[in-house]
Amino acid sequence: MFENKNKKTTSIEELGEFQLIEHLTKNFNLNNPSTLIGIGDDASVIDFKNSLSVVSTDLLIENIHFDLTYMPLKHLGYKAVVVNLSDIYSMNARPSQITVSLGISNRFSVEALEDFYEGVRLACLKYKIDLVGGDTTSSDKGLIISITAIGQLSKNKISRREGAIDNDLLVVSGDLGGAYSGLQILEREKAVFKVNPKNQPDLDAYSYSIGRQLKPEARKDVFELLDELKIVPKAMIDISDGLSSEVLHLCKSSRIGCNIFEDKIPIDPEVVKICDEFKINPLTAALNGGEDYELLMAISQSEYEKIKNHPYLTVIGHFTKNKSSAKLITSLNQEIEITAQGWNSISKSN
């Protein structure tokens, strides 16, 4: 969990910017025929021919979006890529290229950055994407990561945030609350470590939730499933800021309301166990936790038979005509107005 202080390290100044980039990216190969020119020129060249291009950028800042006390750099490199790919999949598009830019403080060695780029490389291999460029600069604020993801999209398969209509099904992939629950465990162990640095935590009982926080996956499998089932979501968004926030985004963009049913929201048993330990309502973790990177979508009622009882997809509610009403229907049949209490990246409290 913590860096070995006795390991020999190489200062970044020994290599310089261009040699550093060449060193860190020497093991990246091109996987896509659309990538004509990758790293090594003034700009990359991508040829999509008949498809549309999709571009998304995310910025991750140390101590705001990640904590290196418990986030291994290899995991961070992997996660930084995945969170961008999730945005591409949420448009019903296939990612194909990324660029990686870093702001680096002088406390990072070449070996530390090698670990980060190994995580990036593993993500590129798993999702079959190409690293085609980026930039590096110095930073006096710790580690700053900016990743841009580029993808390809068929004109007849675009899924935006708008497009849901009355009676469309509200469907979510996977389960929710895991990343938030894993974060609670990691923060607790960080506090214990500060008091007793010799303490070795046993985290086996929390492996699923910790994995959801440290090494999430983008739902490439769901993107491919929808294509296989010939389903084009009416609207879609990834769950990065919490279910409540994303539901409201879909409703606002589509100018429509919705009803979500509490007992339909998928939550893993380990998440329930962790929430019990911390005296948190599991529903709170699912609604407001964020960083699950599942896909939330509007699907026509006519497609229900295709997704009924599918292990990857759960119908959690439906859209309604009342555009000013997004409600949670509890297990006691009470109606509660949904409010956005998920992650706010520019909140003063972060």
What CATH number corresponds to the domain at position 207? 3.90.650.10
Q: Please identify, among 132, 157, 182, the residue that sits at the C-terminal boundary of a domain.
A: 157
CATH of residue 37's domain is 3.30.1330.10
User: Mean pLDDT across the chain, nearest whole number?
Assistant: 90
Mapping DSSP to helix (H, G, I), strand (E, B) and coil, where does residue 258 land? strand
What does pTM read for this prediction? 0.88
Same-domain status, 191 and 320? yes
> Is pLDDT above 80 for 41?
no
pLDDT confidence tier of residue 44, bands split at 50, 70 and 90: low
pLDDT at residue number 43 = 59
pLDDT at residue number 217 = 98
CB 199 within 8 A of CB 2: no
Residue 159 DSSP label: -
Pure H helices in the chain: 17-25, 73-89, 110-127, 178-195, 207-214, 220-228, 243-254, 269-278, 282-288, 304-307
> Is pLDDT above 90 for 20?
no
> Is pLDDT above 70 for 73?
yes
Residue 342 is assigned to a structural domain of this protein? no
Same-domain status, 136 and 276? no
Same-domain status, 178 and 144? no
Mean pLDDT is lowest, of 8-12, 87-91, 345-349, for: 345-349
> Is pLDDT above 80 for 79?
yes
Same-domain status, 131 and 280? no
Give the pair of three-digit tokens for residue 84.
């961008």
> Is pLDDT above 70 for 337?
yes
pLDDT at residue number 347 = 52
Q: What is the mean pLDDT of residues 125-131?
A: 97
Residue 148 is assigned to a structural domain of this protein? yes
Same-domain status, 204 and 333? yes
Q: What is the mean pLDDT of residues 132-159?
A: 91
Separation CA 98–CA 220 (nearest Å): 16
Same-domain status, 148 and 266? no
Q: What is the mean pLDDT of residues 306-323?
A: 93
pLDDT at residue number 16 = 72
Separation CA 210–CA 231 (nearest Å): 32
Same-domain status, 127 and 191? no
pLDDT at residue number 246 = 95
Residue 1 is assigned to a structural domain of this protein? no
b/e code 329-349 from CB counts within 10 Å (16+ = b) = beeeeeeeebebebbeeeeee
Separation CA 292–CA 246 (nearest Å): 12
Residue 163 is assigned to a structural domain of this protein? no
> Is pLDDT above 60 for 3?
no
Q: What is the mean pLDDT of residues 187-209?
A: 90
Same-domain status, 128 and 213? no
Q: Which has more confidence, 164 or 7? A: 164
Q: Which domain holds residue 40?
A: 14-157
Among residues 94, 96, 113, 115, the alpha carbon closest in space to that of 105 is found at 113
Same-domain status, 185 and 241? yes
Q: What is the mean pLDDT of residues 145-158?
A: 91
Q: Please identify, among 99, 128, 157, the residue that sits at the C-terminal boundary of a domain.
A: 157
Residue 128 is assigned to a structural domain of this protein? yes
Which residue(s) pair with 47 in the sheet? none
pLDDT confidence tier of residue 277, bands split at 50, 70 and 90: very high
Q: What percent of the chain has pLDDT over 90?
A: 72
Same-domain status, 123 and 239? no
Q: How many domains does the chain have?
A: 2
For the chain, the distance separating the N- and C-terminal CA atoms, rounded to the nearest angstrom, is 23
Same-domain status, 202 and 294? yes
Q: What is the mean pLDDT of residues 183-207?
A: 90
> Is pLDDT above 90 for 294?
yes
Q: Which has more confidence, 143 or 348? A: 143
CB 205 within 8 A of CB 69: no
Q: Please identify, among 157, 181, 207, the residue that sits at the C-terminal boundary of a domain.
A: 157
